[in-house]
Amino acid sequence: MQIMATPFLTLNHIAFHVTNGAALLQELVNKFQFHLFAVRVTETTRQFAVKKGSAVFLVNERPKLGVATAQQKARQEGRLGLIQECTDLSCIPFNHALPIVCPGLDLLYDVCTSCSVDTASNVSFEVEDVDRLYRRLHACGCQILIPPTGVKDDSGCVIYCVIKSIVGNIYHTFIDRSRYTGEFLPGFQVIDSPAMASGLAEITHFDHVTYACPQGSSSQVLKWYEKCFGFQRFQLHQEENAEDGYIISGDGVGLRLTAMQYWTCSKVALSLPLPRKQSDCRFVLAESLPGQGRNQVDTFLEQHGGAGIQHVALYTPDIIAAVRTFCCTGVQFVTPPPAYYTETGKEEEIRAAGQDPQLLSQLGVLLDTDVSMKGEGRGCQGMVERRHLMQIFTKPIFSEETFFLELIQRQGASGFGEGNIRALWQAVQAFIDQKEREQSN
């Protein structure tokens, strides 16, 4: 059997499909302080690109029903591809020099999914050779939604293709941008919105993306990503088992986590281990364990209409400053169980990490410690090494109990800690249970 080369991937953006693009845009810009930098508005489609550090979200607005029909009609009449001038830009929350002129009518770099609820559904990568990857994916039996397609504007051209993953409504767009000098992608108008003062709530990159998966599906998903994109298994915790993943159960928690990561050019060229680059984002598969009652993973699957992206973790070098800022801008976070901060040894653990236990508890930020032996077996005396990890989850971003964001700050720890996973699970569960109680009253 021919061994296929691993494609070199870099994360480009994560895309949403929503009914009201302006509402999500406002949330990302006004609350999370993302910077709106590129827009594409046609008669039928609105696409907004926002960024903070290297984390880029693309907000795709689902065409309204009547508009979708107009689009079909335009296609039949051969009008698609005409230049459309767009004047209705009231959705963009800034003053800027427009009008924008957008080629074509259709959504670019993505496909309209059948998913009827708001969703984050596309993880898009930059690749070196879309055509070669396309042939490889085709040979692997992948469902190709858009074969290699070129788009150009004054700053050059890109080639992209879109494929469907085997997980729910998750798609991947692969883009070769090597012949493009513009800020984002052809077809988008780069806009000059006032740069937000990002100082206090710095986000540098996407740390990980977590998929909510049906029970028993994780190993198949992992195999698919290994086979198609050369992803590698990544160990989240020392106690993780190669077969079963990392299982956290008891005290109302019933979760199985498995993680995977992709290869970037530098890792392949120099061979691992290398420090993580800011573009290296990991993927976590979360499934519930059998035999438990209602739980957040199954609630996601129900309300989302199947598997999908449950959350995206944004990396911040200063989680305290970020949470303080985001609380003022109106971001809502789930509340950890109060007992978390009073557990035996927690206060000392927080102090040993150089943090203030009272402040962490006030803000609802969780801190875990990864303890390992350093230098053992190399002729020198073993030394205990403590690495820390701080996390917090937002409440769901849409009206369903589905997608949310996470803030994460790592101080040496590269995986996840059990204490945090339990507390995060319990915090999300308490929020869902409370909401359900309110709705049934």
Ligand X SMILES: O=C(O)Cc1cc(O)ccc1O
406, 417, 423, 426: residue in contact with Fe ion (rule CB under 5 A) = 406
| Minimum distance from residue 57 beta carbon to ligand X (Å) | 18
CB of 61 or CB of 287, closer to ligand X: 287
In terms of CB distance, is 49 or 424 closer to ligand X?
Answer: 424
Least spacing, CB of residue 208 vs ligand X, in Å? 6
Establish whether 208 is an annotated binding residue: yes
Q: Is 413 in the site for Fe ion (CB under 5 A)?
A: no
Segment 251 to 280, residues that bind ligand X, using CB under 6 A? 257
Collect all residues with Cβ–Cβ distance below 8 Å to 241 and sequence separation of at least 6: 247
Should residue 240 be labelled a site residue for Fe ion when binding is judged by CB under 5 A?
no
Cβ-based nearer residue to ligand X, 85 or 251: 251
Q: Whole-angstrom Cα distance, residue 204 to residue 317?
A: 8
What is the distance between the alpha carbons of residues 21 and 93, in angstroms, rounded to a whole number?
A: 12
CA distances from 353 to 144, 237, 348 (A): 48, 19, 9
296 binds, among ligand X, Fe ion, none (CB under 5 to 8 A by kind): ligand X
Please list, in sequence order, all residues whose beta carbon lies within 8 angstroms of the beta carbon of residue 297, skipping any fewer than 6 positions away. 212, 213, 255, 286, 287, 288, 310
**Should residue 316 be labelled a site residue for ligand X when binding is judged by CB under 6 A?**
no
Of the residues 210, 316, 402, 409, which one makes contact with ligand X according to CB under 6 A? 210
Does residue 407 interact with ligand X by CB under 6 A? no
- The residue range among 27-35, 49-57, 371-379, 420-428 that interacts with ligand X, by the rule CB under 6 A, is 420-428
Helices 296-304 & 418-440 angle (0-180, nearest 10): 50
Interaction of residue 421 with ligand X, rule CB under 6 A? yes
**Least spacing, CB of residue 297 vs ligand X, in Å:** 6
Please select the residue that binds ligand X; options are 284, 319, 363, 405, rule is CB under 6 A: 284
Q: Please, which of residues 194-213 interact with Fe ion by CB under 5 A? A: 210
Q: Which is nearer to Fe ion, 176 or 207 (CB)?
A: 207
Interaction of residue 313 with Fe ion, rule CB under 5 A:
yes
Enter the DSSP assignment of 167: S
- Measure the CA dihedral 410/411/414/417, to 10°: -80
Bond prior to 93 in cis (omega within 30° of 0)? no
**Number of CB atoms found within 10 A of residue 252's CB:** 15
Q: Using DSSP, how many helices (H) and how many strands (E) does the chain show? A: 11, 20
Neighbouring residues of 112: CB distance < 8 A, sequence distance ≥ 6: 17, 62, 63, 68
According to DSSP, the residues that pair with 190 across neighbouring strands are 38
Residue number, 16 or 416, with CB nearest to ligand X: 416
**CB crowding 345-358: b at 16 or more within 10 Å, else e:** ebeebbeebebebe
Q: Which residues bind Fe ion (CB under 5 A)?
A: 210, 313, 406
Interface contacts to ligand X, rule CB under 6 A: 208, 210, 257, 284, 286, 296-297, 416, 421, 424-425, 428
Binding site members: 208, 311, 406
